[in-house]
Chains A and B, each alone.
Chain A
């Protein structure tokens, strides 16, 4: 009994800490939403952040999407060809991208490319007392620093996901039609036959919106609550990437279970 008590206390403390952190995160989200009016009053702030978060992520999204689509095309073709239905490659590439790979991979890439940068930036502002300085000048750091970054990310990720999907389908098209020689009419018609607008495209879009809120909330929260030292900022950045990836994958399972029942 004596040996078990400290172990149990440790587990309980970890669990309590996690729940308290989750609660703080939800409060943080409510504060962000309350302060969101600044995006309408000063859209230039939002546009500046959308440049850094969205536009500069375009290259990694386009290149990864293209290669994911090409690999899917190659792998799926060899498997489908064993059953004599190599033309179905367009359908498989489009369905797997639109339903799962597009939203999930884009969210994880986005968390590592943009989310970590946001955390590091806000964390460093805190470490160098810039946030306090803003407050001294009667500028709310929440509204001036956190809110534009949050909304810029939430707007950018669904757009990036759509771009990733298109790049992936184009990559699959390149491999299947130009490299392997699948008939291009069969490629498109099988794809259009299987992909449904409401079931697949809209559900994929809903997924990417949910992921964008989760990833950006984790990013700004970790930055804002980072320990204001060099070590603290580095830890917060790591935590952003790890927590975002786990949250996205976990949430994806839950959303898929609800969305694609019986299909």
Chain B
């Protein structure tokens, strides 16, 4: 299978003015909405989404249709929330979708809201995406003017209000419970689950929470029909995926691929591979939270949810970060751990303390103060974080750091040893230059 498959999400992405409602409508936009509102009743819309079998594109890969079917029926206040707080290092697919094709997202939101009969929707955009939030806000206003949002949409009797909400720079608010708390007007601290958002989410009402890319797939399912939609993709991972490739590659960028192509095809075929003369040392298949795969073990695997999970990693948000063989891993691990230390909300002890101590220990490895015991301790701290917190932020550090340590232990030890030797030489040089010039030879 080649990567030259039809594009769905990025189909018209280079069309000038796609972010305006006129161009979007000319390209067939909002026709899926018309179908969903005038020809189908809410249950049928939900059935179609379930039949399309789209798995959540935000990281967890949970089937969207199933999630939507958990929302109770009835006329209580229900909410739809779009998670556009894309802050994972290496992820930038939602940015492009929102900036270039905001109406696809809005159409997806309305159809998904129709399926669960929610009358209020929110798009939570991270604070740093100022340009993108402006674009989406403009698009929402245009959709209101055309009558796609507001009261009695297309004379179907369905009301839907959509609000663009901007975050203020907190990675943790991409976690669903933290996002809901943040939207509630609180600090973005994750809550204990259950109750899940489907039962008690925003304002304690049933809430469907999905990623931008997931919601962008909804109009496509309705448009193509679920039978056609599931033709692309692998056995259990249907549809296409926008993959963000970055790091040491020649053509970093977003590429839409059918799920099930090989990693080699993505990294070498689409992104041009690492710079001339370099090899792939390892890569993160699903953003910085995913355990790394070495080039040897990972490149020939197929890129879908199951294969990545079987290989001990994950597809996550679909962000491939490539590390070439010129990169020392210790500074990278330190930078990575430092990100999670900074972003930990501090609610759960294993994450708050674990991320702090991991940074401190990695600093010791970096500076050459680490003892062999530190490596054991470092690995132990990672395993003590895993699965012990309310959310997966701590795990998101523990998994990549743990996997790097496991797969490249020798490099970590060598790095520490070299730094230690350098420090020692510097001390000798300063204290006794004559010794440094003529090193002592030990007894035979």
A and B are interacting partners: no
What is B's interface to A at a CB cutoff of 8 Å? none
What is A's interface to B at a CB cutoff of 8 Å? none
